Each structure stands twice: as structure tokens, then as C-alpha cells.
């Protein structure tokens, strides 16, 4: 187990930069999730930590030791690939013990380590099978088993669950979390799925376009997204945005482009008449409240999810969503009174940063 320091890392392929100045300190035993849309450079960063990609500039340290020039085999890390990358010509047991055999571990020791890892992952009855005779979920477990037999300094995961169906994904997600609790190993986990990020992470690193957008605890990112990208990426259904103008004065308010006036709290960082974006999460939109400051919204569509209801609403031409558990709204139509509580509003300046 070890800490991992990433200092001013840059990566370019030829003249194409894919990572800009990434700076990150990962503590001993921490579970960090790199999340962002496809192509934002998450895998590249992870592979640089693993030693599978060269570092264009900057420094990576594992347990305080610079590893930029170190071969993957000398970094003492384990990695779970999205494709699982099981060795097709080896049995499950041989797959799991390959790293130990390369290190010339004693036979008896290998046997006991493999059987305890297999027990942990429920792989006992499969040890003699070849990977092609396993289901997707079982292959995923073998890939995990191969990583844990070694007690490495850190675990790296590159979208390990994205080839599984939804039910299995949920189950494995919980198992990974449990495994991390048991082993307490430093882990870096790459995913494009914000739910995985929220549920697994001690700390989330949100990335976009090769830049780190925000680093923080899952609830930090949910409650105080640093910019429009993070605000839109975290949470489902995604945050509603309205573009418009912030108006100061005795009653601070926000006027959308469609002319809807939304009461707001005073924002010292926004000047009177400043262009801004207002954000509010669907689950924070209050509907059906007959309050004096209620606004009228048109109901466009009702989507029941079982757990709750997603209402597609609009102020004139600007649509937004509301989420509620109240089944009274299943048959909502026409127009509804809507309140956007001031303490739930997020404001972003013209540059897209939180104010």
C-alpha cells in the first residue's frame, strides 16, 4: 500500500495534447475515482501510472519514489482491464497465479494465496476452467482475483464493469467496495459512469477534455459543483440550466432569456446585469406548492421510473425537469405551480465557473 503523487503531468501524442497539467495527490489506502466522458484522458492517465504510457512531462511518484522511467513490472501495481485481458490458454488458477509464478513464489504459498482469493471471490468451483468457459461476470471476478493475489502497492481499474449487464454491474460495484474495505489498498478507478463514481469513491476527480475539472468528495461534487461541466455530469437526471441575467438590488433575482424571473440570494461575485447560468437539480424543484413566489410551468411529459417520477416541464420555450416521489403527479397535465428554492440554486458566471 502506498500513496501516489502526480505532479504537473502532461501527455501528448505527437503534437496532440491529451492531458494538461494534471496535479493529484492520492493518499495511502484512498479510493479515488477518475470520472469523465469518453475520450477525456482518464485511461491515458491511469496507464501512465501503470507504466504502459510514457510521461511527456511531469512526475509520478509511488510511495515517494519517482517511477517515470520504471517498467510496469517494477512498479508493483495491479490493474484490472475493461476487457479483463485474461490469458486464454491458462486456467483460472493459472491466470490468478501468473504474477506469483513470475516472482518465483513457492508452490505451497501460491496454492494457499490462490485458494483464499478464490474463496473471497466465489471462484472455487471454476479454478480449472479456461476463460472461454466463463460468463462475463465470472471473467470479471477472475480479473479481480488476478489483481488481489499480489498485495500490490495500488490497484488500478479501467472501467472494469462496463462490459457487464446492469444488474451484475450493481452487484460487482458493491463487491469492489467491500473488497476495498477489507484490503484497504490504494485504488484508482476509472469510469465514465457517475453513479459508479459517486458510490465507490472516497474522492472523485472529474475530468473533461484533458483537464481536471474538480477534485472532491462525492457529496462535494454533488452539492458544490465547481463549474458547468461538473454540475451537468454528476447527478441523474442531470441538473437543469437556465441562461440569463443576474439582477441585483433590493430583491436579487435571475431573469431567464425567456423572461421568467426567479428569486435568488445575493451573490457578491455577480454584478448587476451580469450574464450567468442558473442551475437547479430536478430533485430540488418543488412542484405543486401554492406559494406566493410560485411560477407557472407547463407539463410536457411524465416519465414514471417506479421509484419516482420525472416530469418534463417548461417555462415558455425553456424546458427543464423535476423529480418527485409523489404519485399524485403521475397524471399531471396542463400547468403546475413550481418553486425553485433559493438555497438550492447554483450560479455559474459567464466563464462557466461556480460563483
Partner 1 sequence: MRAKPLFLTIAHRLAILAYIAFALFPLYWLLKVAVTPNDLLYSEGIRLWPSHASLEHFDFVLRHSAFPVFFRNSLIVSGSTAVIVTILASLSGYALSRFNFRGKYWLVALMLLTQMFPLVMLVAPIFKILSPLGLTNSLTGLVIVYTAFNVPFATFLMQSFFDGIPKDLEEAAMIDGATQFVAFRQIILPLTLPGIAATLGFVFTAAWSELLFSLMLISGNDQATFPVGLLSFVSKFSVDFGQMMAAGVLALIPACLFFLLIQRYLVQGLTAGAVKG
Ligand X SMILES: Nc1ncnc2c1ncn2[C@@H]1O[C@H](COP(=O)(O)OP(=O)(O)O)[C@@H](O)[C@H]1O
Residues that bind ligand X (CB under 6 A): 13, 18, 36, 38-44
| Strand 65-66 with 4-13, pairing | unpaired
Query: Which of 159, 154, 112, 124 lies closest to 140, judged by CA?
Result: 159
- Least gap, CB of 154 to Mg ion (angstroms): 18
User: Residue 265 gets which letter from DSSP?
Assistant: -
Q: How many CB atoms lie within 10 A of CB 152?
A: 20
Asked if 187 and 308 touch (Cβ cutoff 8 Å), the reply is no
- DSSP 3-state helix, strand, coil percentages of the chain (rounded to 5)? 30, 35, 35
Helix axes of 136-148 and 166-183: crossing angle, nearest 10 degrees: 10
Residue 47 CA to residue 65 CA, distance in Å, equals: 17
Among 2, 77, 144, 179, binds partner 1 (CB under 8 A): 77
Which does residue 13 bind out of ligand X, Mg ion, partner 1, none, counting CB within 5 to 8 angstroms by kind? ligand X
One residue of 8, 54, 83, 353 binding partner 1 per CB under 8 A: 83
Q: How far is CA 243 from CA 125, 170, 232, 254, 312, in A?
A: 58, 36, 14, 9, 18
Q: Give the one residue of 26, 40, 79, 212 binding partner 1; rule: CB under 8 A.
A: 79
Choose the contact partner of 40 out of ligand X, partner 1, Mg ion, none; CB within 5 to 8 A by kind. Answer: ligand X
Residue closer to Mg ion (CB basis): 120 or 192:
192
The option from Mg ion, partner 1, ligand X, none interacting with 301 (CB < 5 to 8 A, set by class) reads none
- Residue closer to ligand X by CB (options 194, 349) is 194
* Residue 140 contact partner, candidates Mg ion, ligand X, partner 1, none, CB within 5 to 8 A by sort of partner: partner 1
Instruction: Give 43 or 240: the residue with its C-beta nearer to ligand X.
Output: 43
> Nearest to residue 279, comparing CAs of 348, 218, 193, 188?
348
Closer CB to partner 1, residue 11 or residue 281? 11
**Is residue 110 part of the contact set for partner 1 (CB under 8 A)?**
no
| Near partner 1 in 118-177, by CB under 8 A | 130-137, 139-140, 146, 150, 163-164
Cβ atoms within 10 A of the Cβ of 150, count?
20
Neighbouring-strand partners of residue 11: 19
Alpha helices (runs of H) in the chain, residue ranges in sequence order = 42-50, 92-102, 107-121, 136-148, 166-183, 194-200, 218-223, 228-233
Please report whether residue 55 would count as binding partner 1 according to CB under 8 A.
Answer: no
Q: Does 13 bind partner 1 (CB under 8 A)?
A: no
The one of Mg ion, partner 1, ligand X, none whose footprint includes residue 241, by CB under 5 to 8 A per kind, is none
Is the CB of 42 or the CB of 346 nearer to ligand X? Answer: 42
Could you say which of ligand X, Mg ion, partner 1, none residue 55 binds, taking C-beta under 5 to 8 angstroms by partner kind?
none
- Rounded to whole angstroms, the Cα distance separating 63 from 60 reads 10
Residue least distant from Mg ion (Cβ): 43
Site residues (vs partner 1, CB under 8 A): 50-52, 71-73, 77-79, 81, 83-89, 98-99, 102-103, 130-137, 139-140, 146, 150, 163-164
Amino acid at each position: 500500500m502506498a500513496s501516489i503523487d502526480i505532479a504537473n503531468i502532461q501527455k501528448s501524442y505527437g503534437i496532440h495534447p491529451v492531458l494538461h497539467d494534471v496535479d493529484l495527490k492520492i493518499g495511502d489506502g484512498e479510493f479515488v475515482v477518475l470520472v469523465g466522458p469518453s475520450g477525456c484522458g482518464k485511461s491515458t492517465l491511469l496507464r501512465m501510472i501503470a507504466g504502459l504510457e510514457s510521461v511527456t512531462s511531469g512526475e509520478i511518484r509511488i510511495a515517494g519514489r519517482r517511477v517515470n522511467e520504471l517498467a510496469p513490472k517494477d512498479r508493483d501495481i495491479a490493474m484490472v482491464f475493461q476487457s479483463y485481458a485474461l490469458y486464454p490458454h491458462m486456467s483460472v488458477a493459472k491466470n490468478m497465479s501468473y504474477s506469483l509464478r513470475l516472482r518465483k513464489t513457492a508452490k505451497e504459498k501460491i496454492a494457499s494465496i490462490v485458494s483464499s482469493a478464490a474463496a473471497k471471490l466465489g471462484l472455487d468451483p471454476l479454478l480449472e476452467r479456461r476463460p472461454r468457459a466463463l460468463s462475463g461476470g465470472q471473467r470479471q471476478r477472475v480479473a479481480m482475483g488476478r489483481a488481489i493475489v499480489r498485495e500490490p502497492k495500488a490497484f488500478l481499474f479501467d472501467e472494469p464493469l462496463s462490459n457487464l449487464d446492469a444488474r451484475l454491474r450493481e452487484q460487482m460495484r458493491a463487491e469492489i467496495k467491500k473488497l476495498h474495505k477489507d484490503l484497504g489498498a490504494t485504488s484508482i478507478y476509472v469510469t465514465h459512469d457517475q453513479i459508479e463514481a459517486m458510490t465507490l469513491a472516497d474522492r472523485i476527480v472529474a475530468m473533461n477534455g484533458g483537464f481536471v475539472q474538480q477534485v472532491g468528495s462525492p457529496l462535494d461534487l454533488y452539492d458544490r459543483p465547481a463549474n458547468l461541466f461538473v454540475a451537468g455530469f454528476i447527478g441523474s437526471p442531470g441538473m437543469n440550466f437556465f441562461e440569463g441575467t443576474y439582477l441585483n438590488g433590493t430583491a436579487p433575482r435571475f431573469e431567464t432569456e425567456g423572461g421568467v424571473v426567479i428569486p435568488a440570494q445575493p451573490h457578491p461575485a455577480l454584478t448587476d446585469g451580469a450574464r450567468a447560468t442558473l442551475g437547479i437539480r430536478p430533485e430540488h424543484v418543488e412542484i405543486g406548492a401554492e406559494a406566493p413566489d410560485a411560477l407557472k410551468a407547463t407539463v410536457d411529459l411524465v416519465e414514471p421510473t417506479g421509484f419516482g417520477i420525472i416530469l418534463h416541464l417548461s417555462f415558455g420555450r425553456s424546458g427543464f425537469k423535476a423529480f418527485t416521489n409523489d404519485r399524485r403527479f403521475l397524471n399531471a397535465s396542463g400547468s403546475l405551480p413550481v418553486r425553485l428554492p433559493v438555497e438550492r440554486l447554483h450560479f455559474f458566471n459567464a466563464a462557466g465557473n461556480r460563483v
